[in-house]
Amino acid sequence: MSNPHSSHDVPQQSFLRKYVFSLDHKVIGRQYLDLSLVAVTTGMILSWLMRLHLGWPTKAIPFLGAISPEAAGGIITPEYYLSLMTMHGTIMVFFVLTTAPFAGFGNFILPLQIGAEDMAFPRFNMMSFWVTFVAFVVLLAAFFVPEGPPLSGWTAYAPLSAVGKDAGPGQGWGQTLWVISIAIFCIAQLLGSLNFIATTLDLRTKGMTLARMPFSTWAWFITSVIGLIAFSVLLPACILLLLDRVAGTSFFIPSGLVISDRLQPHSGGSPLLWQHLFWFFGHPEVYIAILPGFGIISQILPAVARKPLLGPRVFIGCLIAIAFLSYTVWGHHMFMSGMNPFSATVFSVPTLIITIPAAIATLLWIGTLYGARLRFTTAALFCLGFISVFVSGGLSGFFLAQPAIDSYLHGTYFVVGHFHFVMGVAAMFGIFAATYFWFPKIYGRMMNETLGKWHFILTFVGVYCIFMPMHYLGLSGNVRRYSSFTVDYMKGSVPLHRFITVAALFTGAVQLIFFYNLFRSRFRGQVATENPWEATSLEWTTSSPPPHDNFGGRLPVVYHGPNEYGVAGKDGDYIMQDSPEPEQRASVSIA
Amino acid sequence: MMNSMAIESRPETARTGVWIGIATISMSFAAYTSALIVRQGANPDWVHFKVPPVLYFNTLVVLASSVTLYLAAGGGPQDPQLVELPATRARREIKWIYLTLGLGLLFLLGQIIAWRDLSSQGITLASSPSSSFFYLLTAAHGLHLLGGLGGLLFVAHRIARRSASQALRAYRAASLYWHFMAALWVYVFVLLAVRI
Amino acid sequence: MVTSSIGRHEGTIVGRIFAILVTIITLVSTAIFLSRIWWLPPDISQLGVGIDHAMNETMVSTGVLFVLAQLVLAFFVWRFADTNDQRKIKTFPGGAIPMVVVAIILVGAEILALTLVGSKVWASIYVEKPDPNSLTIDVQAEQFAYYFRYPGPDGKFGAIHPDLIDESSGNFFGLDPANDTSARDDIVSASLVIPVNRPIQLRLHAKDVSHAFYVPELRIQQDFVPGLVIPLHFTATRTAKTEIVCTQLCGLGHYNMRAYLEVRTDADFQKWLNEQSSQ
């Protein structure tokens, strides 16, 4: 097999090969991160527009009319609001929460952490990124098609998403492009997951047993297994939906629909089939977004607490348990969908049970803090913030997991608050922690810690001001996906919506600190050493940034697990994974 | 900086990749199957029709291609010490690979004949849910099989280069995929024959 | 190691700030929940009591876990900062085992309790058969309105013919009164008027795409699925006028899809019904 990295010396490469169609996992990882940076900015701007509209529905938004023909005069129409919401959800879930923590950081760090020169299939890896890129471009193109951008939500429930133009604006080319984009994205993720799994199984360096694998690598590995199964179901689902839209089939469209006074030429399809297929993917997708965060937190926490993670094997057991259970719970999204009410009870049990491994993991993190010597780097703060928001969002899940309570809260802002905390903000905090932690390894320069700390504190307060009040709105029956609140009993919630809007704009503005820090540090930051955080895993044994072949012609040999902190090692209170010195028991005093 | 020993001891990533690919493809066909079962049970508009007879012939073709691909390796165990493939052997192996490739193309041709057969009877993609699934499953399988043809070409290319270990790795990965394609076709065929 | 001092000593202050923030956020959030400024509207349904009970129970138990977890987090962050003394690290007493045990017992017990309470309530709404004496009303949901159909004096609904649905002539259900005698006296209304204390059974039909039926005061929510007729039953216990809203994204007018629900006394209801059928 040809190995593009078989030589230590970087071969002369064309500009295209080096920076655009690169086969180097580090370049590809950075490309993924840059793509998700563009995506997250887009998604955030969309959320601002939505929030502005919810707070002040009649106010025109300056410049908006000039950018987007759908919002003439800067006024957000009900259908434009739904488009913003659909695109926000789709971009954030697929192109940020899946792309950044999994494909981005996973690509850059995983081969380094297992001591490999590259991924198992560099060409697939390159294709995976560029296919993702195409998917993103196709999705954005939906903004500019004649019938308007799609508005069926990121869940694209049939038959609204399947019947085409008759169902109103956004149901023409916009929705078709949405389906095509997601199908393309599935292919990219399947290629990526295949690569992650094969790399982890086959390319671990000498001594890197599964038990010695860093927690983040474990999490990426398990995430890729989940992704492989989830996306290989979403892809067929998207193909069926596309055929219903363009080829006149009736997979999801039942008989006798009258839309825009026209009897639809379809018969016999099952709308619930789409929901089952979608949520069979959709719920595991939540764990695809959050499990890399689990791994990142568990990887960073010992390094900043200067002590081993509590119960490392228990933690990995939790990851595996979550992966299995994630495939048994999809029906909890469908309690109100008209499926058999018995199955609601059946789905409710694993939904509640899956909280046990999640709760154990959380307790392990909190337990790790006990007796620590915490260094409050920005990465550490985001880890701590992750624990806090994950607890908040996780607990509100207890309400929604119970069908009886869900019959009140389903479809309200309670759900919005819940999933933004538990998969949005928590995963985002994982991304931030990873960025501050691995930035020196990726770009060879340190980020500014003072700016980082301001960024954290303000963001932390901001997200609580945005998403905690959504729970209150939900309790009072405020329905989500409404472009304004004309219903009498919801009018009272407008002041709280204004508060949330102000908080969202504030938190968004705070991210400018992050962007500034990110770009400035890339070029002007303090030059990073090999191992600035005194961490133990293999990526910290090579230069920052690593050479083209990762370890400069040698392959490291591993003697230790990733969890050896709080010991008397030769360099300090830790032992590098590749250090041949003998293993030690952590020099701890038992409380 | 890998010496030849390191290359020899490198795990067969291509074969691992094919195994993972098999898992993925199985999962997506499981999704199609469950969609088919749900859709058939959802409403009484399922129209049964006879699968085109050419598919029986096609099943034999795809099974035969599995056998010819097996014979390409000479059927026996490989000599691990072998570095360079002898020219005569390479020629013989390539012949079998091309035969397999030909059978693969014949199979695809047969699928196209089957589609034309059905559409001439007025059974099209959108005419009924059963025909939708027929076209969908055969097309999905055919596309995956096209990938297998690419794999076979790659193996032929590797054998022509005559590095024994590289050729063997490529062959082991591509043949695993090809045998899976044959097995998957048998599954799809039985599913269609029983349900449609 | 020049950079290894990053975040030590001087960094402890930001740790303290974090601990204080977590405490404040926890206490303020909890206080707002307890104040019930934003809370469920008064319940007007027979089964709402059970749901409110389950809701309160969940609120208390998750609230306790929320406060405990956040405050312990804040305390540990405050207490275990690296102050550059020679203090040795400590392991949590007993290691990971107590964590596993605590999680399984606490969460497990909670799950058992919640599932037992919750599934009973759920079953009474969605699984159990409706009262045979209940008043059956057909609901047609469409982009972006609801229509309600009462069987009229003959007690029978006329059949629905999708091809006859015509907005302009007001034939929202696609009835065929010319050929179908039971359809002739069907009463169609744009708002749902029901008698108090009488079991109601709704049959949900969707004309075009998925919609939902949500009345917070009744504590029920149910999707309309095109192609399916979904039954839903409840009993209102108080006279009231409130709104039915759609909670399933159905297109541009989704935010404005609603209808009034009027719960009247039996006499008032009969009077209304008579007025409707005489029209």
DSSP codes of every residue in C128-168: SPPPTTPEEEEEEEETTEEEEEE-TTTT-PPPP-GGG-BTT
Q: How many CB atoms lie within 10 A of CB B150?
A: 11
Token pair of A308 as six digits: 């081993």
Token pair of C58 as six digits: 């969940």
Rounded to whole angstroms, the Cα distance separating C186 from C181 reads 10
Q: Give buried/exposed letters for C239-249 (b at 16+ CB in 10 A, else e).
A: bbebbbbbbbb
Token pair of A426 as six digits: 């928590």
- As beta bridge partners, residue A409 has none
Digit-coded pLDDT (tens) for A80-127: 999 999 999 999 999 999 999 999 999 999 999 999 999 999 999 999
Peptide bond into A159 cis (omega under 30): yes
Cβ atoms A58, A484 nearer than 8 A: no
**Among partner residues B2, B28, B38, which is closest to A233 by beta-carbon distance?**
B28
Dihedral angle at the C-alpha atoms of A191, A196, A197, A199, nearest 10 degrees? 120
* Amino acid letter for position A567: V
% of chain C surpassing 70 pLDDT: 95
* Amino acid letter for position A476: S
* Residue of B64, B165, B77, B160 lying closest to B107 (CA atoms): B64
**Among partner residues C14, C102, C225, which is closest to A272 by beta-carbon distance?**
C225
Residue C4 reports pLDDT greater than 90: no
Please tell me what DSSP assigns to residue C4.
G
Q: Is B17 on the interface with A (CB under 8 A)?
A: yes
Name residues whose C-beta falls within 8 Å of residue A163's C-beta, 6 or more positions apart in sequence.
Answer: A171, A244, A253, A257, A259, A264, A266, C208, C209
Q: Which of B:59-118 have CB within 8 Å of A?
A: none
Rounded to whole angstroms, the Cα distance separating A585 from A564 reads 9
Cβ pairs bridging A and C (under 8 Å): 386
Number of separate helices (H) and strands (E) present in chain A? 19, 3
What does pTM read for this prediction? 0.94
Q: Is A251 on the interface with B (CB under 8 A)?
A: yes
CB-based burial label for A589 (10 Å; 0-12, 13-18, 19+) = exposed
Cβ atoms C211, C279 nearer than 8 A: no
At residue B77, the 3 state secondary structure works out as: coil
Judged by CB atoms closer than 8 Å, whether chains meet at C80 and A408 is answered as: no
Closest-CA distance, A138 to chain C, in angstroms, reads 22
At residue A581, the 3 state secondary structure works out as: coil
pLDDT score at B78: 61
Please tell me what DSSP assigns to residue A448.
P
Three-state secondary structure of A489-502: HHHCCHHHHHHHHH
Strand C187-189, strand C211-215: pairing: unpaired
pLDDT score at A11: 59
Angle of helix A378-400 relative to helix C12-35, nearest 10 degrees, comes to 20
Dihedral angle at the C-alpha atoms of B5, B8, B10, B11, nearest 10 degrees? -150
* Residue of A546, A510, A515, A516 lying closest to A528 (CA atoms): A546
Cβ atoms C52, C40 nearer than 8 A: yes
At residue C214, the 3 state secondary structure works out as: strand
Cβ atoms C212, C223 nearer than 8 A: yes
* Residue of A39, A109, A40, A212 lying closest to A437 (CA atoms): A109
Cα A437 from chain centre: 18
Low-confidence ranges of chain A (pLDDT < 70): 1-12, 585-591
Low-confidence ranges of chain B (pLDDT < 50): 1-8
Judged by CB atoms closer than 8 Å, whether chains meet at A249 and B125 is answered as: yes
- As beta bridge partners, residue C187 has C150
Digit-coded pLDDT (tens) for C154-173: 888 999 998 899 888 888 99
Rounded to whole angstroms, the Cα distance separating A503 from A325 reads 35
pLDDT score at A7: 42
Strand C200-206, strand C230-234: pairing: antiparallel
Q: Is A167 on the interface with B (CB under 8 A)?
A: no
Rounded to whole angstroms, the Cα distance separating C249 from C226 reads 14
Name residues whose C-beta falls within 8 Å of residue B65's C-beta, 6 or more positions apart in sequence.
Answer: B100, B103, B104, B107, B178, B182
Token pair of A109 as six digits: 């760090």
Closest-CA distance, A466 to chain B, in angstroms, reads 38
- As beta bridge partners, residue C234 has C200
Name residues whose C-beta falls within 8 Å of residue B194's C-beta, 6 or more positions apart in sequence.
Answer: none
Q: Which position has the token pair 């639809």?
A: A264
Judged by CB atoms closer than 8 Å, whether chains meet at C224 and A338 is answered as: yes
Judged by CB atoms closer than 8 Å, whether chains meet at C121 and A404 is answered as: yes
**Among partner residues A195, A198, A270, which is closest to B39 by beta-carbon distance?**
A270
Dihedral angle at the C-alpha atoms of A543, A549, A555, A556, nearest 10 degrees? 30
pLDDT score at C1: 37
B15 vs A contacts (CB less than 8 Å):
none
Judged by CB atoms closer than 8 Å, whether chains meet at C111 and A352 is answered as: yes
Judged by CB atoms closer than 8 Å, whether chains meet at C82 and A586 is answered as: no
Q: Give buried/exposed letters for A48-67 (b at 16+ CB in 10 A, else e).
A: bbbbbbbbebeeebeebeee
pLDDT score at B3: 39
pLDDT score at C154: 86
Q: Is B143 on the interface with A (CB under 8 A)?
A: no
Digit-coded pLDDT (tens) for C180-197: 888 888 999 999 999 999
pLDDT score at B43: 85
Angle of helix B13-42 relative to helix B129-161, nearest 10 degrees, comes to 170
Q: How many CB atoms lie within 10 A of CB A133?
A: 17
Taking CA C229 as the corner, what is the angle to CA C223 and CA C233, rounded to the nearest 5 degrees?
Answer: 70
* Amino acid letter for position C272: W
Judged by CB atoms closer than 8 Å, whether chains meet at A273 and B35 is answered as: yes
Token pair of C190 as six digits: 């744009």
* Residue of A253, A283, A4, A258 lying closest to A117 (CA atoms): A4
Token pair of A51 as six digits: 């929030």
DSSP string, A375-414: ---HHHHHHHHHHHHHHHHHHHHHHHTSHHHHHHHTTBHH
Judged by CB atoms closer than 8 Å, whether chains meet at A399 and C55 is answered as: yes
Cα A546 from chain centre: 26
Optimal mutation site among C91, C246, C258, interface A, most CBs of chain A within 10 A: C91
Which residues in A117-265 belong to E strands, given as ranges?
A: 258-259, 262-263
**Among partner residues A1, A229, A251, which is closest to B132 by beta-carbon distance?**
A251
Q: Is B163 on the interface with A (CB under 8 A)?
A: no
